[in-house]
Chains A and B, each alone.
Chain A
């Protein structure tokens, strides 16, 4: 149980690479916090600094109000679960889990009872005498968790602990990690690449980009109110649609036509001194098949007609993909996101638009469809700074 505070924590590697830059994060006692960001943004570095495996170049790290910058990992009383599990191959599962207790010179009876208890929580009782080599991936992962929980540390640090599991096991382990954390109520810092883990597991999410903290907040808050283009594009799957637009007298013109912004959005944009050229962002679920809506409901948005490129029916709803004529939105943030997700520009003209329609939609692949979207849910971004001009936080 501990409160962890990062106060302008910076990491510069000896070769000059700036991995984490002035991170300010307050992690409350018992909180489950998630670090996300594209590859190489400094997540592992930040975790290793909290663990004490990497030196802190400048700034201060406090655990329970105490400066711990100079403390060795073993004196910080923090447990860590590694992406590779890092189990000791020459020890049985029982010895692996008992290792931290043995080092702490706990007596044999207590070691046994603690290991047995942890094994029971993690459903490992029948594997205790086996070697890690004879375990499945999921079991190894649980042993790694077991080794972390046996000694009731002040905090858990987990670096992509589920990324080596297959999809089904990952879902299963995700729920158990979540349950375990609630049960133990131990402060947890969890690094992940995975959208779903980021959205479902944590109390709060920290989005990192190139070593800079972009935004900290609850998953829902980050989803609804991203501070900038990067967070908007990173959180959510499928990602938010971005279109270049022009703002004039409260009217926004984009490749989808011209629409009148809602009063709320217009006020926010005016307060933020929005420039004329903006990037408009709309989440896929804020679109709907116009045929399914009555006139009064359609008043708050605008309708456009376009040919459906691809239609994916998920049963519960349908994803319709369109190509929007004209320029694609360009900004440094979006380019970085595209590079991270591995998507390369398709080369054909126009931007790809992803919409989520009701299952009842009658849209057909290759045929034009009328699609409506909610003007009040449009977010506007400054193309040069990436700042969210409609940020309501």
Chain B
């Protein structure tokens, strides 16, 4: 007994150490950024982890510039619209892929996989040219469209995995109970697929929110520039001063919507929602 107890304590200690190491590795840069955002301009380079003097000046500064507020509005709007459209389209496509046998199904899955694997960098110049021709350059749709394109494969894959988990027989049962296909989908399948839809929404939103490549290449003014791109245009008080404090403050601010979004949807993700539907 003693030997076994000793070994589990040892295991526990090892795991605790590993856990702490991983969390520290992930969080220290974030904490460092936060620390920087609260430091005064003079203290930015003092190499202290904790600010000697706390200040909200950096936050005040970014919110007084129109530049950042506009970018925040652009980011939220573009990411939400792209997420909504990608999830709705993805749900329909994934449902069809999980349930139906239609000609060209394999091809569809293959093509969407191809899109996901395509290096985005190689598309930037053609997209730039095309959007300029079509008048989409530096507009919201100009970013929403490529976001949907690249988020859809992700959405379809995650969602079809969730749809496959829902027993076929529930749909048959709904039909026998007198439901039309639309009623069966709305009242039986959709509620059960909800956790999958929310999970997908979170992933797609994060993808859109974090994008830098398209945001920097397909925008030119405040009309559609999102926060990750706008950060690059921040300027310090003087030309020779790096705006480290403002950038840190902005970086902290833009993580907040993500945290809110995840917390909001996470409560809706109830694991094991389909348990009890069928036995065996």
Using CB atoms and an 8 Å cutoff, list the residues of chain A in contact with chain B: 51-53, 72-74, 78-80, 82, 84-90, 99-100, 103-104, 131-135, 137, 140, 147, 151, 164
Contact = CB atoms under 8 A, between A and B. Distances in A.
B278 A84 contact: yes
B173 A140 contact: no
A80 B169 CA distance: 11
Interface residues of B, number: 26
B277 to A, nearest CB: 4
Contacts of A147: 173, 177
Contacts of B188: 88
16 contacts: A52-B175, A72-B175, A74-B175, A74-B176, A80-B173, A86-B277, A87-B278, A88-B277, A89-B275, A89-B276, A90-B192, A99-B174, A99-B187, A104-B178, A132-B276, A133-B275
B220 interface: no
Interface string B157-194: 00000000001011011111111100100011001100
B279 interface: yes
A21 to B, nearest CB: 24
Nearest to B270: A90
A143 to B, nearest CB: 10
Most buried by A among B167, B173, B174, B191: B173
Contacts of A134: 276
B276 A86 contact: no
Most buried by B among A86, A100, A131, A137: A86
B276 A164 contact: no
A82 B169 contact: yes
A164 B278 CA distance: 10
Most buried by A among B177, B187, B188: B177
A164 B177 contact: no
Contacts of B169: 82, 84, 86
Interface in B266-280: 272-280
Nearest to A137: B279
Given A103-B178, A103-B179, A103-B183, A89 B173 contact: no
A72 B180 CA distance: 9
A133 B274 CA distance: 8
Contact of B176 (A73, A87, A132): A73
A85 B279 contact: yes
A366 B170 CA distance: 55
A282 B94 CA distance: 58
A115 to B, nearest CB: 13
Contacts of A85: 277-279
A90 B273 contact: yes
Contacts of A80: 172-173, 176
A52 B178 CA distance: 12
Contacts of B276: 87, 89, 131-135, 140
A36 B180 CA distance: 31
Nearest to B166: A89
B279 A53 contact: no
Contacts of B178: 74, 100, 103-104, 151
A103 B177 contact: yes
Contacts of A90: 191-192, 273
Nearest to A74: B178
A199 to B, nearest CB: 25
